[in-house]
Chain A
Amino acid sequence: MFQGFPEIKEALMSNRMQAGFMVAPMAIALRAQGVPIKIVYLGHRYGSAVVVQKDGPVKTFEDLRGKTVAIPSRYSDERLILFRAMAKHGMDRGDIRMVEMAPPDVAGALAAKAIDAFSMGEPYPSQAEMSGFGRVLFHAREYWPDYISCVLVVRQDVIDTRPEAVQVLVDGIARSGLWLDNPPRKKERREHAAEFVGRQYFRQDPKLLKWALTNPLDRVMYQPLTPYRGDFELIVSLMRETGILERPIAFEEYIDVRFAEGARTQTEWKYEPGDAF
């Protein structure tokens, strides 16, 4: 487990990690810079929000003019969503001051009033809401339908030499997504996932993850996780507009869709909350 995306980038480049989840623009920028990685699948859809102080002066998006907003990285969709919202409200790019901050630090910074708002993935918006000092100003989907944040990237040498291992990884994520988004059992399964992921992987309070996964149930979605061309071309165009991608890059250059296609016939895990592993 890492605490920030730049560390994941370094671990991938040094081959300490062979795959990783990172924000989509960072993966695209790394590929454009010649780093031998490819996006093979999505981690989730939606699940990012802009959060402000609950009883603070920011009541509408326009109130963010001149304010400081924390983002996880310059190369993040959480930054791009702010630009989309600014464009919609007729604001200039310099109207909001953005500062990069490690995701686990943003809720504390908002509580201490060191920042006026943050744009971040879950469970940090939930953390601010649950703790009583934060209010969701808007969820990413309000300005960006089919919003994507984290994607699964794999080193090119692993794709070339061990495609079957990459397929097993992607199949597992696909099966987990189907399991979590199964309509009749969605709430029960998400609550169960929050328990074991919180304790075994994230080392976070399961109540926090339950909030993020069930309040409401579509706050974060785990289907569809196939990387679609249109979604990524929008990200590339926003990256170009906002000055974080110097050259155009073709979809095929940074995405390998064969693993997502291979996972299309997968079915959900045969497991119910309470079953033994």
Chain B
Amino acid sequence: MRKIAIGVSAWLALVTIAHVSMNVNWAIVLNDRLPLDKRKLNVAYIPVT
């Protein structure tokens, strides 16, 4: 039982780390934590001229 719990926890941790590293844009997260007047503006565009 203990081995299963460790295995599940390890798998959960692995998937969480993979998700956070691949899907979280840390530049945006950190930017959002800056004071309002210091934040960079996020500018949206599509790949057209």
Whether B44 lies near A123 (C-beta < 8 A) is no
- Bound together, the chains give a CA A44 to CA B49 distance in angstroms of 7
Whether B46 lies near A17 (C-beta < 8 A) is no
Residues of chain B contacted by A166 (CB below 8 angstroms): 41
Whether A162 lies near B47 (C-beta < 8 A) is no
- How far apart are A99's CB and chain B's nearest CB, in angstroms? 18
- Bound together, the chains give a CA A124 to CA B47 distance in angstroms of 10
Q: Which of B22-49 contact A (CB under 8 A)?
A: 36-37, 41-49
Q: Which of A207-234 contact B (CB under 8 A)?
A: 212-213, 220
Say whether chain B's binding surface is mostly helix, strand, loop, or mixed: loop
- Which of A1-9, A236-244, A266-274 lies at the binding interface? A1-9
A3-B46 in contact given A158-B41, A162-B36 (Cβ < 8 Å): yes
- Residues 144-169 of A, flagged 1 when their CB comes within 8 A of B and 0 if not, give 00000110001000100110011001
Q: Which of A111-140 contact B (CB under 8 A)?
A: 120-124
Q: How large is the interface on A (under 10, 10 to 19, 20 to 34, 35 or more residues)?
A: 35 or more
Residues of chain B contacted by A165 (CB below 8 angstroms): 41
- Bound together, the chains give a CA A11 to CA B36 distance in angstroms of 18
Whether B43 lies near A19 (C-beta < 8 A) is yes
A21-B37 in contact given A121-B49, A123-B49 (Cβ < 8 Å): no
- How far apart are B32's CB and chain A's nearest CB, in angstroms? 10
- How far apart are A212's CB and chain B's nearest CB, in angstroms? 6
Closest to A15 in B: B42
A16-B42 in contact given A44-B49, A122-B49 (Cβ < 8 Å): yes
- How far apart are B11's CB and chain A's nearest CB, in angstroms? 31
Residues of chain A contacted by B36 (CB below 8 angstroms): 161-162
Closest to B41 in A: A18
What total of A-B pairs shows CB separation below 8 Å?
72
A19-B49 in contact given A161-B36, A162-B36, A162-B37 (Cβ < 8 Å): no
Q: Is A204 an interface residue (CB 8 A)?
A: yes
Whether A5 lies near B46 (C-beta < 8 A) is yes
Say whether chain A's binding surface is mostly helix, strand, loop, or mixed: mixed
- Bound together, the chains give a CA A150 to CA B48 distance in angstroms of 9
- Bound together, the chains give a CA A213 to CA B49 distance in angstroms of 9
Residues of chain A contacted by B49 (CB below 8 angstroms): 43-44, 47, 121-123, 149-150, 212-213, 220
- How far apart are A17's CB and chain B's nearest CB, in angstroms? 4
Whether A12 lies near B46 (C-beta < 8 A) is no
- Bound together, the chains give a CA A249 to CA B11 distance in angstroms of 57
A11-B44 in contact given A161-B36, A162-B36, A162-B37 (Cβ < 8 Å): yes
- What are 15 residue pairs bridging A and B, where the CB atoms are less than 8 Å apart in the complex? A1-B47, A11-B44, A12-B44, A16-B42, A17-B42, A18-B42, A19-B41, A19-B43, A21-B43, A21-B44, A149-B49, A150-B49, A162-B37, A166-B41, A204-B47
Give 5 new A-B contacts, CB below 8 A, not counting A2-B46, A121-B48.
A12-B44, A20-B45, A43-B49, A122-B49, A162-B37
Residues of B whose CB lies within 8 Å of any CB of A are: 36-37, 41-49
Q: Nearest 7 CB-CB pairs, A to B? A: A20-B44, A202-B47, A17-B44, A121-B48, A122-B49, A47-B49, A8-B44
